[in-house]
Amino acid sequence: MNAIARSPSTAGTPKEGDMRAAVAGRLAIAFFSVQTIAVVYPGLVPFSRIEPRVLGLPFSMAWLTFWIVASALVLWGVSVVEGRSRRED
Amino acid sequence: MERWQAVAAVVFGYLLVTLAVGLLAGRRVSESVAGYVAADRQFGLITMYFITGATIFSAFAFLGGPGWVYSRGAAAFYILSYGVLGIAPLYFLGPKAGRLGRRFGYVTQAQLVAGRFPSRAISLLFALISVAAFVPYVMLQMSGAGIVFSAVTNGHVSFELGAAVAYGVVLLYVLAGGVAAVGWTNVFQGVVMMVIAWALGLYIPTRLYGGIGPMFDRIAEVRPELLVPPGLDADGSPWSWGAYSSAVLSSVLGFLMWPHLFMKVFTSRDDDTLRRTVILFPTFQLFLLPLFFVGFAGVLFPSAPEQPDWIMPHMILSSGLPALVVGLFCAGALAASMSTGDGLLHGAASIAVEDGLAPFVTLTDRQRRILMRGLVIALGTLAYFLAIVQKQSLVWLLLTAYGLVDQFAPPVYAALFWRRATTKGVLAGLVAGIVTNIFFLLRPELRPLEIHEGILGVIVNTAVLIVVSLATAPQPKEHADAFVSAPEEPRAAFAGVGR
C-alpha cells in the first residue's frame, strides 16, 4: 500500500494520526512492562503450575508461549497504526 | 557404506552448499570497509529476518536448550521469555540508531556511543568487552559443532575434528565475503534450522509417547518438579526464583547489546525493514518449543547421554531414524552453530579494528580490511583451543558472556535518550559495572539472592552513570540534541512538504 492509495478524506488529519501513533507506542511499552513482570518473580509464581493443561502443554509453558504470540500481535498492531500516521505526514 | 558414513556424507554435502552460497554472495558487494562490515547497507526484509533469527538461534538453542530442559526442566523456560522482551526495544531505538549511523557513518555500536560521548577510552572498553564476551560465545558454537559430529558418527569424527571442519568452512566464507556472505548463508541456514526443528520436535515425542500431550502426562506423574519454573539447579536441587528471574532480566537487557546484533541496525536498508524484522521475530522464538519437546522426551527415556548437552543427538540416534534424517539434523545443528559463529567472528574482528585500533592509529581502508581478516583467524583459533579444553555447559557459557554485554546497556540508552548524560559519567559507570560484574562472577557465593552478576553490574553501572553525570558539566545542547532527537532524514522531510 502506498500514500496515493489512501484518499485524504478517509485518512483523518495528520495530527490525529500522530496522536494515535503516540498512544499505540505507549500502550506497547505498557504491554511489555506488564510482560516483564509476568515472566519473572513474583508475576510468574501464580502461573507456575502444571494444570490446567493447554493443548497438551503444562500451564507454565503455555503461559510463557502466550506472551510470545501476544507480543507479535502487539508489535504488528503498533506498526499498522504508526505506518498509517507516517503515510499521512 | 556404514550408517555413520552416510550421515557424514549428508553433512559434508551440506557444508559444501553453504560454502558455495557464502562465496557467491561475497562477490556482490563493494571492496570497502562499509561493504565488508555493513554490506553497503543494502539488506532487505527477507535477508534481515533470517540473519537476525539465524544469528540469535545458535548451538545454544539447538543443543544447550534441550540439554537444560533434560537436566533442569523448567529452568530452561527462561530462554522462552527473554527473546521477545529483549528485541522489542529495537522497534523503538533501532530506527533512531540507524538514522544516526547513516548520518555520521557509524558501523559499530561503540562509534555511536563514542560519537555522543567523545572518548577513546570508552571506545577501547567497548572493544575489549566485546571481544571478551565473544570468545565464550564462539566457544559455545564450536563445542556445539564438535558435539554434533562426534555424537552422530559414533566418535568416528572426533569432537576436535568436527569443530575444526565446520569452522574451517565458516572462516573461508567470512574471510572471502564479510557480512554479505554471513547474510546469505544465514538465509539458507535459517530455513534449514526451522524446518528440522519442527519436524524432529513433533516426530520424536509422537514416536516415543504417542504425542506431546501424552508425553507431558507421563512427566507430570513421574517428575512434576520439571514442569514448573524456576525448575532445578545443575545439581538437581530446586533453582531459586532470584537466579531464574535475573537470568531472564540479564538476558533481556543484554540481548540487543550484543555488538554483532546491534550492528545490524547499521546494515538494514531503512527503518521499516528494521521494524518489520522485530515484528516477525517472535515467530523465530516459537521454534524453541519443538527443541524443548525433544529435551522433555529424553527425561523418561531409558538411556542417557554422557552430558546433558548431548541429549538432542542422543535422542535422534536412539529413535531409529534413517541416515538421511540424522544427517539433516546435523546440518540443522551445524547451521545453528555456524550461522551464529560466523557473525560473532566477523563482529568481534570488525569491532577490535574499528573501535580498538582505529581511534589510536591511522589506518587505510585496505589495511583495516586486512587486519579484520587476520583477527577473524586469530580469534577463531583462540576460541577453538579454549573450546576443546573447557567443560562448562553451553548455557553457562552464554549466561557468563551476557553479564559482560549487559554493561553496554546503560551507555547505549544514555547516548540515545538522556540529554544530561556526560562522557565522564558514562565512562565511570562502565568501569564500575565491569568491575562489579567480574567480582561477582569470581565470587558467586557473595551474590545477594543469587541474582545474576550482570544485573548487579548494571545496577552499579547505572547509579554511577547518573551520579557522575549530574556532578559534571552538561554537554552542549546542540550536541546532545543531535543524538537524542535524531531528526528524520531528508527523504522523510520531503514527504512532509504536502502538509
Mean per-residue pLDDT, A12-22: 73
| A25 inside domain | yes
> How many percent of chain B have pLDDT more than 90?
41
pLDDT of residue B224: 95
Determine the residue among B219, B240, B244, B279 to mutate to test chain A binding: the one whose Cβ has the most chain A Cβ atoms within 10 Å. Answer: B279
Tell whether the model's pLDDT for residue B29 goes beyond 80: no
| A10 inside domain | no
For A52-68, write each residue's pLDDT tens digit. Answer: 999 999 999 999 999 99
Dist CA B343 CA B339 (whole Å): 7
At A57, phi and psi to the nearest 5? -85, 150
* Interface contact flag, B81 A67, Cβ < 8 Å: yes
8 Å CB contact between B68 and B310: no
8 Å CB contact between B233 and B75: yes
Distance from CA of B389 to the nearest CA of A (A): 35
pLDDT of residue A86: 74
> How many percent of chain A have pLDDT more than 90?
53
Mean per-residue pLDDT, B356-375: 88
For B288-333, write each residue's pLDDT tens digit. Answer: 999 999 999 999 998 899 889 889 888 988 877 888 878 877 877 8
At B258, phi and psi to the nearest 5? -60, 120
Tell whether the model's pLDDT for residue A73 goes beyond 80: yes
Range list of H helices, B393-452: 394-406, 409-417, 423-442
* Interface contact flag, A40 B245, Cβ < 8 Å: yes
For B429-470, write each residue's pLDDT tens digit. Answer: 999 999 999 999 989 899 999 999 999 999 999 999 999 999
Higher pLDDT, B28 or B168: B168
Say which residue the cell 506497547 belongs to.
A28
* Interface contact flag, A89 B211, Cβ < 8 Å: no
User: Residues 11..30 of A with a Cβ closer than 8 Å to B: which?
Assistant: 14, 25, 28-29
CB proximity A61 to B under 8 Å: yes
Average confidence score pLDDT of chain A: 83
Indicate whether this model's pTM tops 0.95. no
Mean per-residue pLDDT, B384-394: 82
SS3 B43: strand
Tell whether the model's pLDDT for residue B375 goes beyond 80: yes
Burial of A49 (0-12, 13-18, 19+ CB in 10 A): middle
Mean per-residue pLDDT, B267-296: 85
Dist CA B269 CA A68 (whole Å): 26
Least confident segment among B159-173, B260-274, B349-363, B473-487: B260-274
Dist CA B440 CA B242 (whole Å): 15
Distance from CA of B55 to the nearest CA of A (A): 19
pLDDT of residue A64: 96
| A39 inside domain | yes
pLDDT of residue B325: 79
Range list of H helices, B210-270: 212-222, 241-255, 259-262, 264-267
pLDDT of residue B363: 86
* Interface contact flag, A48 B85, Cβ < 8 Å: no
| A8 inside domain | no
* Interface contact flag, A14 B499, Cβ < 8 Å: yes
Dist CA B296 CA B312 (whole Å): 10
Determine the residue among A6, A35, A39, A59 to mutate to test chain B binding: the one whose Cβ has the most chain B Cβ atoms within 10 Å. Answer: A39
Contacts of A26 in chain B (CB under 8 A): none
Nearest to A40 among B74, B248, B272 (CB): B248
Tell whether the model's pLDDT for residue B46 goes beyond 60: yes
Number of domains in chain A: 1
Higher pLDDT, B194 or A14: B194
Tell whether the model's pLDDT for residue A87 goes beyond 80: no
First and final C-alpha spacing in chain A: 15
* Residue B208 burial (CB count, 10 A): 18
* Interface contact flag, A48 B74, Cβ < 8 Å: yes
Distances (CA, A) of B82 to A43, B250, B319, B320, B385: 15, 9, 31, 35, 30
Tell whether the model's pLDDT for residue B391 goes beyond 80: no
| A32 inside domain | yes
Q: Which of A26-35, B41-50, B161-170 has the highest mean pLDDT?
A: A26-35
| A22 inside domain | yes
Q: Which of B37-51, B121-135, B269-283, B337-351 has the highest mean pLDDT?
A: B121-135
Contacts of B84 in chain A (CB under 8 A): 35, 67-68, 71-72
Least confident segment among B5-14, B18-27, B92-101, B402-411: B18-27
pLDDT of residue A1: 39
pLDDT of residue A3: 41
pLDDT of residue B35: 59
Mean per-residue pLDDT, B476-492: 78
8 Å CB contact between B368 and B33: yes
> How many percent of chain B have pLDDT more than 70?
92
As for the ipTM of the complex, it is 0.84
pLDDT of residue B381: 92
Tell whether the model's pLDDT for residue B158 goes beyond 50: yes
* Residue B337 burial (CB count, 10 A): 31
CB proximity A58 to B under 8 Å: yes
| A60 inside domain | yes
Average confidence score pLDDT of chain B: 86
Question: Residue A54 sits in which domain range?
Answer: 16-88
Tell whether the model's pLDDT for residue A89 goes beyond 70: no
> How many percent of chain A have pLDDT more than 70?
81
| A46 inside domain | yes
For B96-150, write each residue's pLDDT tens digit. Answer: 998 899 889 898 899 999 999 999 999 999 999 999 888 888 888 888 888 888 8
For B194-249, write each residue's pLDDT tens digit. Answer: 788 888 899 999 999 999 999 999 999 999 999 999 999 988 899 999 999 999 99
* Interface contact flag, B212 A56, Cβ < 8 Å: yes
Residues 6+ apart with CB under 8 A from B492: A89
pLDDT of residue B222: 94
Confidence of residue B281 (pLDDT cuts 50, 70, 90): confident
Q: Which of B75-84, B311-320, B485-494 has the highest mean pLDDT?
A: B75-84
